[in-house]
Amino acid sequence: MKYYRYVRWMFLALGLAAVIGLTVMNVYSLHALHENEVQNSVEKQKRQLLEYTNQVRSRFRYPVRSLWQLDMEELGASLVSPSDVSKDLLLIIDETIRDGLFSDIYLSTPDCTPCDRHGDPIWHYQKEIGKFATTTSYNRLVSDGLAITRTRMSALVQDYRWSTRVIFETHNSMTVTLINPDSREVVAYLLFVIDQDYLVTSYLGPKLAETFGTGEEAGIIVWLHDWTKNEVLATTAPEVTYSYQKVDFIQNFPDLLNNWNLKATFTANPAIAASRASLNRNLFVLGAAMLLLTGAFIFMFFTAQRERSLAQRQALFLANVTHELKTPLAVISAAGENLSDGRVTDPARLKSYGSHIFNESLRLRTMIDRLLDVARYNTKNIRIRKIQTSLPDFLRDYLKIKNSYLESYDVTVHLAADDSVPDIEADPSDLQSILDNLIDNAVKYSPDEKYVGIRIRNGGTYVELGIEDRGVGIPKELQKYIFEKFFRVEDALTAHTRGHGLGLSIVQDLAVRNDATVSVNSAPGKGSVFTIRFPKYETPETEHRAPIPTSNSRKEQEPEHVS
């Protein structure tokens, strides 16, 4: 039996561990799904940043797509004077200068050295007339761009297989080197001066807003940043102050705008917000389900424990009842057999045998009445007859009837009542059963001083009936169980006291049926006080008084003790 109890606790622990384990796994899965959604959103935004820089690169390289189709040998032969430039090149340059991205276009031949201190003349495109003209009036940005390109191409030209090569001088200029791939010689240098105001204000800034949206609700904040000057050139959220600590990702421009890059911070976009809301809902439902399952496991386990304990007490009760029923039956059977055989002829012995049969039959009848009472109290459809009752008068009459029983056990009874106690409304039969059980318990469980103190007090809206004894008492930790059916407080002082654990459960059932409450105050070795609070009687139009109990309503003989 002990091993079986350990097995049940083990299975409860395993069940709870399974519920908790499944819950943890589901929480992990939900968090993983949410993190995956966040990561997918971030990766998508990173791809948008890369696509944005590639689109900018494509915009800059637009003129190159036409330049590489030119016949470089023929173009080189035409670059004798500005007026000899081929019409195909002029068409490409004219289309490019009208774009607005470039403010000026310069052309330099390989033998021209604009970077020396004398400053050789180069050709400047005049967009008003659509032709090149020689000029020596150009700024340092132009000479720096051409110098950087000439230096790099001197190392690349012999191994280069294409007809054009684009080299940027940060965000200032873009130089396209025109190359004859057959002779591996540079034909010319075309330098495009970048219009920075147009680039930032009219192209990069609006394209940022168009690509990524504006404000924090877009899910990403992007700053176009000049990292050499630590200056924000454009942003999708002007209301958010730039800080390097806020940056989650940096995207550089490929092969251009070397001093500029895109810095981004990822915020909660609608998709992430919806995923987080879904995560919170699922976690709430999962938590509620776990609590429900855990509570159900624990409830079923302890309910099974309680039912098992009740079944054990019922089995013990049936064993005790069977034994106690057999005892009077055996006495009656033996006495009856002796009388029927005619072996007893002495009048004194005949009277003794008759007395034994009568007393045992009364005892048997009392036990049967108690069992029938239990069955009757468990029936929900019993109709009770509550009438107006004066509790002090009822108690005085009851004690007169109970007097012989109390005297036989040498019980000291003390009755005290307040001066003005209002009437109560109760069923007289139920009230008498309550008194029988409580007083019988007080007598049976008082091995030394048999004392019954009865106190009736006016509680205002209720009438309080207290029944005190000076018996063995009840441990505090067991007091919550004493009103359960078949429960008995088993110890050395009560082990040999007859009882089936029904009396106090009957008291509580009868109290509830009469709208009353019952409580106990007890300590081991100091006796017990049972308190019943009856609601005060509300006077109706027609009044009925409770009848005085008679010896016919309840037997004077010693009742079967139940506790």
User: For residue 552, what pLDDT is reported?
Assistant: 39
Mean pLDDT of 143-167: 88
Band of residue 327 on the pLDDT scale cut at 50, 70, 90: low
pLDDT of 496 above 60: no
Residue 241 structure tokens? 């102050």
Is residue 259 a contact partner of residue 170, using CB atoms and an 8 Å limit? yes
User: For residue 7, what pLDDT is reported?
Assistant: 77
Angle between helices 270-340 and 2-60 (to 10 degrees): 170
User: For residue 491, what pLDDT is reported?
Assistant: 52
Which has the higher per-residue pLDDT, 52 or 36?
52
Mean pLDDT of 311-319: 65
pLDDT of 353 above 60: yes
| Total-model pTM | 0.51
Residues forming CATH 3.30.450 domain(s) in the chain: 64-194
Give pLDDT tens digits for 222-249. Answer: 999 999 999 999 999 998 899 989 999 9
pLDDT of 518 above 80: yes
Give pLDDT tens digits for 372-381. Answer: 666 666 665 5
Q: What percent of the chain has pLDDT over 70?
A: 84
Residues forming CATH 1.10.287.130 domain(s) in the chain: 299-376
| CA-angle at 5, arms to 3 and 6, nearest 5° | 65
Q: Is 556 helix (H, G, I), strand (E, B) or coil?
A: coil
Which has the higher per-residue pLDDT, 1 or 83?
83
Band of residue 281 on the pLDDT scale cut at 50, 70, 90: confident
Strand (E) positions, 199-277?
220-226, 231-235, 249-252, 260-266
Q: Is 291 helix (H, G, I), strand (E, B) or coil?
A: helix
Rounded Cα–Cα distance for residues 477 and 304 (Å): 21
Q: What percent of the chain has pLDDT over 90?
A: 23
CATH code, residues 64-194: 3.30.450
Which of 58-72, 165-179, 481-495 is least confident? 481-495
Name the β-bridge partners of 37.
none
Q: Which fold has domain 383-535?
A: Heat Shock Protein 90 (3.30.565)
Band of residue 181 on the pLDDT scale cut at 50, 70, 90: confident
| Distances in whole angstroms, Cα of residue 122 to Cα of each of 16, 167, 368 | 87, 19, 130
Is residue 212 a contact partner of residue 48, using CB atoms and an 8 Å limit? yes
Rounded Cα–Cα distance for residues 162 and 345 (Å): 146
Which of 178-182, 327-331, 491-495 is least confident? 491-495
Smallest CA-to-CA distance from 90 within 66, 115, 62, 58 is with: 66
Give pLDDT tens digits for 410-442. Answer: 889 999 988 888 999 998 888 888 888 888 888
| CA-angle at 402, arms to 410 and 473, nearest 5° | 55
pLDDT of 116 above 70: no
pLDDT of 459 above 80: yes
Which of 85-99, 259-273, 414-428, 535-549 is least confident? 535-549
Residue 471 structure tokens? 């018996």
| CA-angle at 378, arms to 376 and 383, nearest 5° | 60
Smallest CA-to-CA distance from 207 within 234, 247, 230, 226 is with: 234
Mean pLDDT of 363-368: 71
Smallest CA-to-CA distance from 169 within 188, 147, 153 is with: 147
Q: Is 169 helix (H, G, I), strand (E, B) or coil?
A: strand
Give pLDDT tens digits for 535-561. Answer: 988 876 544 555 555 443 443 333 333
Average pLDDT in the chain:
81
Q: Is 167 helix (H, G, I), strand (E, B) or coil?
A: strand
Which of 67-76, 104-113, 334-343 is least confident? 334-343
Rounded Cα–Cα distance for residues 227 and 244 (Å): 11
Smallest CA-to-CA distance from 468 within 406, 416, 511 is with: 416
Is residue 384 a contact partner of residue 511, using CB atoms and an 8 Å limit? no
Residues forming CATH 3.30.565.10 domain(s) in the chain: 383-535
pLDDT of 513 above 80: yes
On whether the 299-376 domain is CATH 3.30.1200.10, my answer is no
Name the β-bridge partners of 167.
175
| Distances in whole angstroms, Cα of residue 267 to Cα of each of 39, 42, 218, 222, 488 | 12, 9, 8, 11, 67
Name the β-bridge partners of 135.
122
User: For residue 562, what pLDDT is reported?
Assistant: 33
Mean pLDDT of 162-191: 90
Q: Of 62-71, 109-118, 343-352, which one has max mean pLDDT?
A: 62-71
Residue 127 structure tokens? 């967009």
